[in-house]
Amino acid sequence: MSAGADRRFDHWFAQRGWKIFPFQREVWRAALKGDSGLLHATTGSGKTYAVWFAALLRAAATKEKGRRKAGLRVLWITPMRALAADTLRALQTSAADLAPAWTVDARTGDTSSGDRARQARRLPDALVTTPESLTLMLSNADARERFAQLDMLVVDEWHELMGNKRGVQTQLALARLRLWNPGLVVWGLSATLGNLARAGEALLGAAPVKPGVTVEGRVRKDIVVDTLIPDHPSRFPWAGHLGIQMLQPVIAEIERHATTLVFTNTRSQAELWYQNLLDARPDWAGRIALHHGSLDREVRDWVELGLKSGQLKAVVCTSSLDLGVDFLPVERVLQIGSAKGVARLLQRAGRSGHAPGRASRVTLVPTHSLELLEAAGAKQAVAERDIESRPVPDKPLDVLVQHLVTIALGGGFRSGELYEEVRGAWSYRDLTPEEWQWALDFVARGGQSLTVYPEYRRVLPDGEGVYRVPDAAIARRHRMGIGTIVSEASIQVKFMSGGRLGSVEEGFISRLRAGDHFLFGGRILEFVRVHEMTAYVRRATGAKGAVPRWQGGKMPLSSELAHAALERMRLATEGVYDGPEMRAVRPLLEVQQRWSALPTPGVTVVERMRSREGHHLFMYPFAGRAVHVGLASLFAWRLARARPATFSIAVNDYGFELLAPEEVAWPDTMDLFSDERLLEDVLASLNATELSQRRFREIARIAGLVFQGYPGQHKSARQLQASSSLFFEVFRKHDADNLLLTQAQREVLEQELELRRLRATLRELRARAVSLHEVKRATPFGFALMVERFREKLSTEKLSDRVARMLRELEKAAGP
């Protein structure tokens, strides 16, 4: 490291009264040597400056060698546009001091077209951008020339990207940039993960020139997790998810602190909490706010600004404030309901005490009694830093197909060369020549079944074997569809007078009639009419309204949290109830123990019960709701194979219930727990085709089969679903080997059913003892499932059989 540069940086930090952390210097040294790597650091630890100064040092060094030419030197990738703005400001101020000649800019969707035109002529020295914008730049014919001077690339919040298709798209872009600049230095910034080593590998590619370095940002961050204990734990409900009983304690917490973030798990829950807070404290109008992903960007900007300026006392939010509040003064973080995972809890805790050396604190607010148990487990898992891994997707072909068209636009490609390049991306390291050929054929001819449609012949080789996009309309359509995020079709919500509020899903609006009231954006609105995918509303008074529901993913409880909860129950069986959470949940656990038993890491509890509804079987494997859906359907299927029967199924994160109207001979559990023919049984027990078809919608969009429509004139969900279903059917009939179909099925099994975890759970079930109990009434664990029941109704009985059974019952009722 040049002594001069070193001194300047020391001075820069000293001026601000900031201490240079050893890990920062470690990154500078490594990057100067040309090493790439992963920096594992918490937010608010000075991680941004660690890598940014590395870039400035490298620039200084190469400048000294006289190699400086105009062009983009540093690329900074961030997963969120909102984050880009704050990062940009931090980078610009330091560059102004240290490298005044540098231009630092952002390129995101927010940039006005004037800026873009200027950037198109000449890129700045450093650019802050998103994976999608980067890919878009790669689709320009002169991409290579523009990136020729690049010598450092930083991916911020890599842990947010690595586990999804956005991360895969980033990997593909990186493979390309590395090929153009073999000396490219790449650094990822990641929060704590169960699989940090994998994070580094995925970022640096399948065949790195040099092994990557991992730097630990060892700034000790104390994390405090505690719980708001209900005033009367013995009268706290056994089920439910809203947690409004905790309103008063939450108000008291908000009262006591300057700024509080109140995290909820769903958007509708956020709406309800906000409304309840305002009803209880009308004096807080204007001092508390609501923030979630369906609110209009302008509304959210206003809220974020209010937080920054300290005007807001509390914000009720969803994960929309998980990221991007790095520069906000938040004193207190509350989490209503289960945090579902340790990583998520840490992330949220990190929103408070956001400065080097200050402790972060999150307070759990249970919404039912068993969440007290979960809270005790969460505390332990956080203390042990037992954090979830994020699996990296394995060669998703929809993303590859999109990439092929992007590269055909960005200068064209030769098949063999691009194949090698793509295999340099970690996710595609095992891509076979056959798979490659399939993907190429798919974009060149439309595969087996679409050959007659010219719009699916998207790339063509020229006389020299270079694949390009021959058609301007196809090119434009492709650029408009770049990216891997597929959202539900939604309807804009606007006041009659014109103000934009946000969006709700089509299905919700279609159930409303003119004059109906609903709660959205913290206001009671009267629905007027729908016109061109916009719902017009006016302010309503008095009466409460329906709360919109959104269709989101259903996040299961993580294994880490589930195991911690089981462990706490094992201690409880030994009479150990330590901590306020365990003491509060003690009466409930004792009832469970008296009526039945407590599930522990070594014991599976199974309960049988008869009621007017029929014959119930409850089981509590603690494997998360996705696995319980799989297990319940699998068991129902296996039971019904022995003797046809209909089962109603209910699941939650702790267990599941099977209910049969008629007597069922429950067989030996070990037969149920077998993983023989597991895949076949799982596929048969669930409607696998329907699940794949739903999944295929996303794949068809990413692969460029379905066009979302031009901005502002979005197609309706029905239209989009119809066209993706059409492709699904055509492929199934005429192109059964279509690899996108295979991918849809694989994604269902891996992501929606968590097949690996299901298999692991079956293994655990076989190893554990079964504690079987005949119960007269639902136990505390069973009660929650009974409440849950009619949401998830599944049947293994064919319709005709069901009709036959109903007829039999009718006959019985009618008598002889």
CA neighbours closer than 13 Å in the CB half-sphere of residue 584: 24
Binding-site member from 287, 777, 798, 802 for DNA (CB under 7 A): 777
Q: Is residue 80 part of the contact set for DNA (CB under 7 A)? A: yes
Q: Is residue 480 part of the contact set for DNA (CB under 7 A)? A: yes
Nearer to DNA, 232 or 733 (CB): 232
Q: Is residue 750 part of the contact set for DNA (CB under 7 A)? A: no
Please report, as residue ranges, which positions from 517 to 546 form the binding site for DNA (by CB under 7 A): 546
| Rg value, the chain, Cα | 28
C-alpha 92/C-alpha 81 separation (Å) is 16
The closest alpha carbon to 199, from 188, 185, 215, belongs to: 188
Q: Is residue 320 part of the contact set for DNA (CB under 7 A)? A: yes
Question: Min. distance of Cβ 231 from DNA in angstroms?
Answer: 14
**Contact letters for DNA, residues 26-65 (x by CB under 7 A):** ----------------------------------------
Nearer to DNA, 511 or 791 (CB): 791
Name 314's bridge partners.
260, 288
Residue range at the interface with DNA (CB under 7 A); choices 148-156, 320-328, 406-414, 597-605 = 320-328
Q: Are strands 614-619 and 603-611 parallel, antiparallel or unpaired?
A: antiparallel
Q: Is residue 170 part of the contact set for DNA (CB under 7 A)? A: no
The CA-based angle 513-516-517, given to 5 degrees, is 150
Residue range at the interface with DNA (CB under 7 A); choices 94-102, 615-623, 703-711, 803-811 = 703-711
Coil, strand, or helix at residue 403?
Answer: helix
Q: Is residue 812 part of the contact set for DNA (CB under 7 A)? A: no
Coil, strand, or helix at residue 324?
Answer: coil
Residue range at the interface with DNA (CB under 7 A); choices 183-191, 207-215, 247-255, 551-559 = 551-559
Task: Map tokens 């800026």 to a residue.
Answer: 115
Q: What is the dihedral of CA 144, 147, 153, 156, to 10 degrees?
A: -80
C-alpha 128/C-alpha 716 separation (Å) is 33
CB-based contact 472:458 (threshold 8 Å):
no
User: How many other CB atoms are found less than 10 A from the CB of residue 787?
Assistant: 18
Residue range at the interface with DNA (CB under 7 A); choices 36-44, 52-60, 238-246, 626-634 = 238-246
Please report, as residue ranges, which positions from 621 to 660 form the binding site for DNA (by CB under 7 A): 625, 652
The closest alpha carbon to 209, from 193, 232, 185, belongs to: 185
Residue range at the interface with DNA (CB under 7 A); choices 85-93, 239-247, 455-463, 733-741 = 239-247
Q: Is residue 147 part of the contact set for DNA (CB under 7 A)? A: no
Q: Can you list the alpha helix ranges (DSSP code H) found in 489-558?
A: 506-510
Binding-site member from 92, 266, 573, 795 for DNA (CB under 7 A): 266
**Contact letters for DNA, residues 172-211 (x by CB under 7 A):** ----------------------------------------
Question: Min. distance of Cβ 141 from DNA in angstroms?
Answer: 14
Question: What phi and psi, each to the nearest 5 degrees, are found at residue 681?
Answer: -65, -40
Nearer to DNA, 432 or 487 (CB): 487
Q: Is residue 724 part of the contact set for DNA (CB under 7 A)? A: no
CB-based contact 637:684 (threshold 8 Å):
yes
C-alpha 629/C-alpha 311 separation (Å) is 45
**Contact letters for DNA, residues 349-378 (x by CB under 7 A):** -------------------x----------
Binding-site member from 72, 126, 272, 749 for DNA (CB under 7 A): 272
Cα–Cα distance list, 10 to 4, 87, 94, 157 (Å): 10, 21, 13, 26
Q: Is residue 511 part of the contact set for DNA (CB under 7 A)? A: no
Binding-site member from 199, 330, 482, 748 for DNA (CB under 7 A): 482
Looking at residue 230, the DSSP 8-state letter turns out to be -
| Amino acid at site 247 | L
Residue range at the interface with DNA (CB under 7 A); choices 51-59, 429-437, 588-596, 803-811 = 588-596
Nearer to DNA, 131 or 212 (CB): 131
Q: Is residue 348 part of the contact set for DNA (CB under 7 A)? A: no
Looking at residue 741, the DSSP 8-state letter turns out to be H
Q: How many amino acids of this chain bind DNA (CB under 7 A)?
A: 77
Q: Is residue 130 part of the contact set for DNA (CB under 7 A)? A: yes
Question: Min. distance of Cβ 460 from DNA in angstroms?
Answer: 22
Residue range at the interface with DNA (CB under 7 A); choices 181-189, 266-274, 347-355, 454-462 = 266-274
Nearer to DNA, 126 or 639 (CB): 126
Binding-site member from 156, 506, 735, 788 for DNA (CB under 7 A): 788
CB-based contact 78:101 (threshold 8 Å):
no
Q: Is the dihedral of CA 282, 283, 286, 291 positive or negative?
A: negative
Q: Is residue 510 part of the contact set for DNA (CB under 7 A)? A: no
DSSP per residue, 255-274? HHSS-EEEE-SSHHHHHHHH
Please report, as residue ranges, which positions from 553 to 572 form the binding site for DNA (by CB under 7 A): 553-555
Tokens (6 digits) for 224: 């405090």
Nearer to DNA, 526 or 698 (CB): 698
C-alpha 658/C-alpha 669 separation (Å) is 14
| Edge-to-edge strand list for the sheet holding 517-520 | 500-505, 490-495, 534-539, 523-531, 517-520
Nearer to DNA, 587 or 644 (CB): 587
Task: Map tokens 């300290």 to a residue.
Answer: 310
Q: Is residue 133 part of the contact set for DNA (CB under 7 A)? A: yes
Residue range at the interface with DNA (CB under 7 A); choices 43-51, 289-297, 403-411, 531-539 = 289-297
Q: Is the dihedral of CA 124, 125, 126, 131 positive or negative?
A: positive
Nearer to DNA, 68 or 586 (CB): 586
Distance of CA 208 to the CA centre of its chain: 28
Residue range at the interface with DNA (CB under 7 A); choices 235-243, 355-363, 447-455, 715-723 = 235-243
Binding-site member from 65, 733, 776, 812 for DNA (CB under 7 A): 776
Q: Is residue 775 part of the contact set for DNA (CB under 7 A)? A: yes
C-alpha 568/C-alpha 584 separation (Å) is 13
Q: Is residue 492 part of the contact set for DNA (CB under 7 A)? A: no
Angle between helix 165-180 and helix 397-409 axes, rounded to 10 deg: 40
Nearer to DNA, 30 or 375 (CB): 375
